Structure 1
C-alpha cells in the first residue's frame, strides 16, 4: 500500500491506497507547531485503531500548501514508515499540460484535484474546490490546465466578518431556507452561502464564455460544496469529495513507475 498526505490550510487528509482502491482515510487538523514525532504518534494510533500494519506501506506522496510542514511530514514518513515520499511540485509528471505562467506558483492542491478529475471524468471541465479558499480550475479539451480564479472560502468569509466587526458573531454554517431573514445569525448564514452560490454561478458563466465551451463539465469538490448545492442544485454536474487523495495516488504511480 501507499500513503498519501494532502496538507491543507485547515486539515491534513491522509489516505491509504492498494493500487487504485482507497483502503482507509483520515482527516486531522493542521498544526504547524506539531512535530514529526507528534504526527507519527497520531499516525500510529490511527493505524492501530484500523488494524493497519506500518510494514505494509511501501511508498508515499505528499501535497502541501504549507511549506513549513513539508519537512515535518516527510521526516515522519521516513522515520515511522521507512518510506521516502514523493513531494508534489513543479516538474512532477501529471498527465496534464500545465499552461500556468509560473508553474511554481500553482498550488499543488489545485493540481492534484485536476489530475484526478481528468482521469475519472475526462476533459474539458471546470473544477471548483470549496476549501479555505474557493478555487476555480479549468482544464480544456486538449487536457491543458489553463488557469482559473481564486476567491475567499465560505468558512474564511464567516471568520473574516466576525473578526472585522464588533457585533457580528461567527456563525455555524447551515443551508439557508430563504434569503430574507429576521435574525442576525440567519441573515449572515443566508448572505454568505447564497452570496457564494451567486458568485459561483456567475464565474461558471464567465468561464464557459471565455473558453467557448458552453457544455463544459462543472465538477465540485470539498465538503462545503454541499452547502452551495443545497441553495442551487443545478450548478454542478458532478460532486466528488475524494479527488485530492485520488489525485495523489495517480501522481504516485506516474512518478514512481507504479512501485
Structure 2
C-alpha cells in the first residue's frame, strides 16, 4: 500500500501529514518561512519524508493546501524535485458544493478542506470553527451550500496585539486561569483572551443557529485542543480536520 502526504501551509505554521494504513502515522509541524528558497525546502521535505520511510515506502501523491502563495510554489517545486506526483487543492476540487460566497475564488483552500472533511465525517448542516492565526467560522446548510463565514483575530494574534499595543501589560502564557475573574494582571489577561474567545465563539454560533437553524459544530486549528471542553456549542474537536480534507479531496473520497 502506498502512502499519501498532505501539506497544510498556514500563515504561521506548515503541517505535513503522512497517511498510511488508514491513519495519520506521522505528523510534522514547521514554522512557515517563505524566505527560505525552494532548494532549501526541497532539502527539508526530503529529510522529513525519509523519516516517514521514503523512498522505501512508496508515496501515492503529495497534496497541498496553502494560504501563502510563495510557499505553494516552493513546496510544489520540492515535491516535483523528489519525483512525486503533486496536487494543489483549489476551488475546482469542491464542485459538488454550492458556494454562495462572493467571489467563490476568495474562499481559502484551508477553509474548503475543513468544510469538506466536516461534511464527510459529520454530514450537513455543519459549522467549522478554525482556531488558528485568525479564528474563522464557516457555515454549510442542509442543502450543501457554503453560506460564508466569519473572520476574527485568532487567540495568539489577539494576545500579541494586546501586549504590543499597551505599555504596561505583560505577555501572558495562554492558559486558563483558575477563575473567570482574574486576581492579578496575568490572570486577567488570560481570562480576557481565552474566556473571551470562548464567549465570542459561543455567541456567534448561537446567532448562526438563530438565523439558519441548528448545526453540528466542529472545531479545529492550533488552539482547538486548548479550548476543548470549555465551549457550550462545540460538538467535536478534530485538530487534523484540514489534513483530512486535503486527503478526501485529493483522493476522490469526498464527492
Normalised by the size of structure 2, how large is the TM-score?
0.92
After TM superposition, list the pairs within 5 Å mapping 1:183-222 onto structure 2: 183-211=184-212, 213-214=213-214, 216-222=215-221
Change (3 A) 1:125 1:79: same
In the alignment, the residues of structure 2 paired with residue 177 and residue 54 of structure 1 have an alpha-carbon distance, to the nearest angstrom, of 50
- Residue 155 of structure 1: how far off its partner (Å): 0.3
Report if the CA contact (8 A) 1:47-1:54 is conserved.
Answer: no
1:175-186 alignment to 2 at 5 Å? 175-186=176-187
Most deviating of 149-158 and 170-179: 170-179
Q: CA deviation at 1:105?
A: 0.8
SS at match of 2:233: coil
Deviation at 1:120, TM superposition (A): 0.7
Contact 2:225/2:239, CA 8 A, preserved across alignment: no
Number of paired residues? 252
Give the equivalent residue in structure 1 for 2:149.
148
SS at match of 2:54: coil
Structure 2: gaps of 5 or more residues: none
Measured against aligned partners, the alpha-carbon deviations of 1:142-173 in whole angstroms (never above 9, x if no partner) come to: 11111111111000001111111112222210
Cα distance per residue 1:6-62 (max 9 Å; x no partner): 100111111122475323221111111112222222223323334332661232211
Deviations 1:209-251 (A, max 9, x none): 111x13x111111231233334x34321111111111100111
8 A Cα contact 1:74 1:84, kept in partner: no
1:68-91 deviation digits (Å, cap 9, x = unpaired): 1111111000002x1242212232
Cα drift, residue 141 of structure 1: 0.5
Q: What 5-or-longer segments of structure 1 have no aligned partner?
A: none
- TM-score by length of structure 1 reads 0.90
Residue in structure 1 matched with residue 244 of structure 2 by the alignment: 246
Contact 1:8 1:64 in 2 (8 A): yes
Q: How large is the Cα RMSD of the aligned pairs? A: 2.0
Are 1:93 and 1:254, in contact at CA under 8 Å, matched by a contact in 2? no
1:2 to 1, 4, 9: 4
